């Protein structure tokens, strides 16, 4: 399912809304989650899952082609943990 398919499904369930508004609703939700993660905040959607960020330490990596050691700086990565209810639904 792509974002446009998601929007189409929501629009079908909400015939009183303009497609344009449904698009804005979907964008707003994921923009808000992205903004929160960019601030270092956590987003918890009980039943669905939780988004957070994790810090990866700096390390010495290797260029796989040349074998040369390179310094890899520490970085922050987005992380998602599936909620209990969704995890159970996936395994029913």
Partner 1 sequence: MSERTITRAQLSEAVYQEVGLSRNESADLLEMVLEEMSQALVRGESVKLSSFGSFSVRDKGERVGRNPKTGQEVPISSRRVLVFRPSQLLKARVNAEPVRGTMT
The rounded distance, in Å, linking the Cα atoms of 92 and 83 is: 15
Min separation Cβ 4 and partner 1, Å: 9
Q: Let me know: does 17 contact 8? Beta carbons within 8 Å.
A: no
Min separation Cβ 64 and partner 1, Å: 20
The rounded distance, in Å, linking the Cα atoms of 34 and 41 is: 10
The rounded distance, in Å, linking the Cα atoms of 11 and 75 is: 38
Looking at beta carbons only, is 46 or 66 nearer to partner 1? 46
The partner residues of 71 in beta bridges, in order of sequence, read 60
Q: Which residues bind to partner 1, rule: CB under 8 A?
A: 1-3, 6, 9-10, 13-14, 17, 21-22, 24-34, 36-49, 51, 53, 75-80, 82, 86-87, 89-92
Min separation Cβ 67 and partner 1, Å: 26
């Amino acid at each position: 399912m792509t974002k446009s398919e998601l929007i189409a499904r929501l629009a079908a369930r909400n015939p009183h809304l303009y497609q344009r508004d449904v698009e804005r609703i979907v964008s707003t939700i994921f923009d808000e989650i992205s903004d929160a993660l960019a601030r270092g905040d956590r987003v918890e959607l009980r039943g669905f899952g939780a988004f957070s960020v994790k810090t990866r330490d700096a390390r010495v990596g290797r260029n796989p082609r040349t074998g040369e050691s390179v310094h890899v700086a520490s970085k922050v990565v987005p992380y998602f943990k599936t909620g209990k209810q969704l995890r159970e639904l996936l395994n029913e």
